[in-house]
Amino acid sequence: MRVYLSVLKLRLLNGMQYRSAALAGVATQFFWGFMIIMVFQAFYQNAADTQPISLKELITYIWLQQAFLVFVTVWFRDSELFDLITSGNIAYELCRPCELYGFWFAKLLAQRLSSAILRCFPILIFSFFLPRPYNMTFPPSLSAFLLFLTALMLGLLLLVAISMFLYISVFITMSPMGSLLIFGILGEFFAGLIIPVPLMPSWLQNIANVLPFRWTADFPFRVYSGHIPQKEALIGIAIQLVYLLVLVWLGRVSMNRILRKVVVQGG
Amino acid sequence: MIQLKGISKSYKVAKRQTGLRQAAKALFRQEHTIVEALKDISFTINPGEIVGYIGPNGAGKSTTIKIMSGILVPDTGTCTIMGYTPWKDRTKYVKNIGVVFGQRSQLWWDVPVIDSFELLKDIYKVPQQEYKTTTDLLIETLELQEIIYSPVRQLSLGQRMRCEIAASLIHNPNILFLDEPTIGLDAVSKIAVRQFIKTINQEKGVTVILTTHDMNDIEALAERVILIGKGSLLYDGQLGELRKRFGTKKIITAEYKQRANPIQIPGASVLSWSPERAVLSVDTANFKTSDIITHLTTQVELVDVTIETQPIEDIIVQLYKEYQI
């Protein structure tokens, strides 16, 4: 446990060095958030039917998405790990008395947490003070908020478990680009980062429901806005847990299997 | 403490000829060759030894180190180190060893060296008190005071290597594997590193296995050498023995008052000659150096004589030649 805390600490220290990157990130996400909200606003004004999610809920959804972007995007990756694999420096990682899966899981988690800490608060705070209808709103109740926090954290763990497969695949392909594109695009789409899941046609929603990606982003954000009622939220959290357990188990098994075949070349 | 028996490892290496046509062909059919990196390697190393593991490029030195540190799984053979099989009990076993891969880095690139040390402390679960004494010692003997607060990316190669060695010793391992620890270091850093290895071997009884191409490292540190070439073990024994067996030549340089004719001395071959200076080579297995000198004095009026033993580098070159590796 201490190791993981220590990795987190080191990552935080490391992440703090890049303040201007964080600042630029915040600015970009603001711009992006506004753009998306305006698009949806136009869409809602001209739509004849009532939509399955209200504009107010959607705006909250989008601000949360922007604030926690590093929690929910697959493409936010640790190129250091890719380098470790392709350059062979992984030799050192293999000389450590801890299991590589857990160690890397901690590294990836820490990287996302450290980036999020610098980025989420400015966006969240600022978006509350925006003029209507662009502003972020409070969750309907304290219990909804607590459920949201749980779902968000589980979603984060789930996403890290998914992204581990990306790193495992690099052991075989030696290049992260292919898996990154596939995982990135599929993941982003089915997590509802391009079109919120409630606005998808129902057949697409069915697909999204089966895949794990939706549970990392769409689910916690809708729990926050109250669009998903609390009883359903509890079921959702159980589903998240099951996904997490299965994916971590699968990841560990495949990683340990691959490590037995890995050949660190040269040197 | 360390016991290898019949270890073999082969790699599958993709191969193709140069040129676009060959590249296109390789799209459909890839040719592989099997390279036998290690063939039936066996040796035993006792606690507290410093062993020099030498051989030309591509001999299989690094492969052996990787197998001994649990990173590679050999095809056949057994390896027992402190009661563990490295690749099977990897996580339990690696607590007891420290490894330095001279060509790789284990320090976090963007943060000061000391932060990497702290992380290693937690990874290896070193108690705070022990960590303090160990790092104090490491910082002092490897002269790291000035550099541990700088990010790794700002260090020179020599400074980084000293930090790498320190990082591998934070958890007080019983065995230290050094894979080319002096690569790219200047003379001063090399001597500092050697001195340090000697110190930890003598004071803490750390067993050291060292691969290097710098024979001065071996001469300064190792009493025992293991020579490997093309994957086979060729020699395992004392360095002195190696010298006795292969390094029997001595070089005699004589300066004398001018003399017109070349000198001729039985038992010595003349490497170079000028009217005032001659360089002779003597095989001391057959002739005594003192006899040669006596002969010399009868032929010329000596001004100065120097006698050198054959440098270890030459012995190794000769060995490589002899074994055709």
Enumerate the domain spans of chain B. 2-106+168-244, 248-309
Rounded mean pLDDT, B247-259 = 83
Does residue B152 sit at the A interface (CB-CB below 8 Å)?
Answer: no
Whether residue A267 lies inside any domain: the answer is: no
Contact state of A10 with B108 under an 8 Å Cβ cutoff: yes
Q: What confidence score (pLDDT) does residue A235 get? A: 94
* Nearest-neighbour CA in chain B from A267: distance (Å): 6
Q: What confidence score (pLDDT) does residue A238 get? A: 95
Chain A residue with minimal CA distance to B68?
A95
pLDDT digits (tens, 9 = 90+) for B179-230: 888 887 888 888 888 988 998 999 889 999 999 888 888 888 888 999 888 8
Rounded mean pLDDT, B304-319 = 80
**Which chain B residues are Cβ-neighbours of A16 within 8 angstroms?**
none
Work out the angle between the directed axes of helices A218-225 and A230-261 (0-180°, nearest 10). 160
Contact state of B73 with A7 under an 8 Å Cβ cutoff: no
* Nearest-neighbour CA in chain A from B58: distance (Å): 9
Q: What confidence score (pLDDT) does residue B325 get? A: 66
Whether residue A44 lies inside any domain: the answer is: yes
Q: Is A72 helix (H, G, I), strand (E, B) or coil?
A: helix
Does residue A88 sit at the B interface (CB-CB below 8 Å)?
Answer: yes
CATH T-level topology, domain B248-309: Alpha-Beta Plaits (3.30.70)
Does residue A92 sit at the B interface (CB-CB below 8 Å)?
Answer: yes
Whether residue A175 lies inside any domain: the answer is: yes
Does residue B70 sit at the A interface (CB-CB below 8 Å)?
Answer: yes
Instruction: Compute the count of residue pairs across chains A and B with CB atoms less than 8 Å apart.
Output: 83
Check whether domain B2-106+168-244 has CATH 3.30.70.20, yes or no = no
* Nearest-neighbour CA in chain B from A185: distance (Å): 28
Does residue B273 sit at the A interface (CB-CB below 8 Å)?
Answer: no
* Nearest-neighbour CA in chain A from B276: distance (Å): 48
Segment (H or E) for B81: strand B76-81
pLDDT digits (tens, 9 = 90+) for B288-311: 888 888 888 888 888 888 888 877
* The pair of three-digit structure tokens given for residue A70, joined into one six-digit string: 């590093």
Chain B residue with minimal CA distance to A6?
B119
Euclidean distance between CA atoms A46 and B202, whole angstroms: 83
Contact state of A266 with B62 under an 8 Å Cβ cutoff: yes
Whether residue A186 lies inside any domain: the answer is: yes
**Which chain A residues are Cβ-neighbours of B119 within 8 angstroms?**
6-7, 10
A:94-123 residues touching chain B, CB 8 A cutoff: 94-99, 103
Contact state of B108 with A14 under an 8 Å Cβ cutoff: yes
Does residue B72 sit at the A interface (CB-CB below 8 Å)?
Answer: yes
Whether residue A266 lies inside any domain: the answer is: no
pLDDT band at B259 (very low <50, low <70, confident <90, very high): confident
* Nearest-neighbour CA in chain A from B110: distance (Å): 7
* Nearest-neighbour CA in chain B from A82: distance (Å): 14
Contact state of B90 with A3 under an 8 Å Cβ cutoff: no
Q: Which of A79, A80, A85, A92 to mutate to test the interface with B (most CBs of B within 10 A)?
A: A92
* The pair of three-digit structure tokens given for residue B98, joined into one six-digit string: 């420290």
- Nearest-CB residue to B71 (from A14, A17, A264): A264
Contact state of A14 with B69 under an 8 Å Cβ cutoff: no
Q: What confidence score (pLDDT) does residue B297 get? A: 84
**Which chain A residues are Cβ-neighbours of B102 within 8 angstroms?**
267
- Nearest-CB residue to A92 (from B102, B104, B110): B104
Rounded mean pLDDT, B127-149 = 90
Whether residue A257 lies inside any domain: the answer is: yes
Chain A residue with minimal CA distance to B10?
A263
**Which chain A residues are Cβ-neighbours of B70 within 8 angstroms?**
94-95
pLDDT per residue, tens digit, chain A (267 aa), is 778 888 888 887 777 777 888 889 889 988 999 999 999 999 888 887 788 888 888 999 999 999 998 888 888 888 888 888 888 888 888 888 888 898 899 889 988 888 888 888 888 898 889 888 888 888 888 999 999 999 999 999 999 999 999 999 888 888 888 888 888 888 889 988 888 888 899 999 999 988 999 999 899 999 998 888 989 999 999 999 999 999 999 999 999 888 887 777 665
Does residue B122 sit at the A interface (CB-CB below 8 Å)?
Answer: yes
Q: Residue B14, exposed/middle/buried by CB under 10 A (0-12, 13-18, 19+)?
A: exposed
Q: What confidence score (pLDDT) does residue A151 get? A: 94
The answer to whether B229 touches B55, Cβ cutoff 8 Å, is: yes
Chain A residue with minimal CA distance to B178?
A267
Does residue A1 sit at the B interface (CB-CB below 8 Å)?
Answer: no
Interface predicted TM-score (ipTM) over 0.90: no
Q: Residue with structure tokens 């060759």? A: B33
Q: Is B226 helix (H, G, I), strand (E, B) or coil?
A: strand
Mean pLDDT (chain B) is 86
The answer to whether B167 touches B117, Cβ cutoff 8 Å, is: yes
Q: What is the pTM for the complete model shown?
A: 0.81
Euclidean distance between CA atoms A221 and B283, whole angstroms: 86
Chain A residue with minimal CA distance to B91?
A97
- How many separate domains does chain A show? 1
Euclidean distance between CA atoms B94 and B85, whole angstroms: 10
Whether residue A228 lies inside any domain: the answer is: yes
* DSSP result, B227-274: EEETTEEEEEEEHHHHHHHH--EEEEEEEES--SSPP--TTEEEEEEE
Segment (H or E) for B178: strand B175-179
- Residue range(s) defining the domain that contains residue A178: 2-261
The residues pairing with A44 across neighbouring beta strands, listed in sequence order, are none
The answer to whether B1 touches B175, Cβ cutoff 8 Å, is: yes
pLDDT digits (tens, 9 = 90+) for B76-132: 999 999 999 988 888 889 999 999 988 888 888 888 899 889 989 988 889 999 999
The answer to whether B175 touches B97, Cβ cutoff 8 Å, is: yes
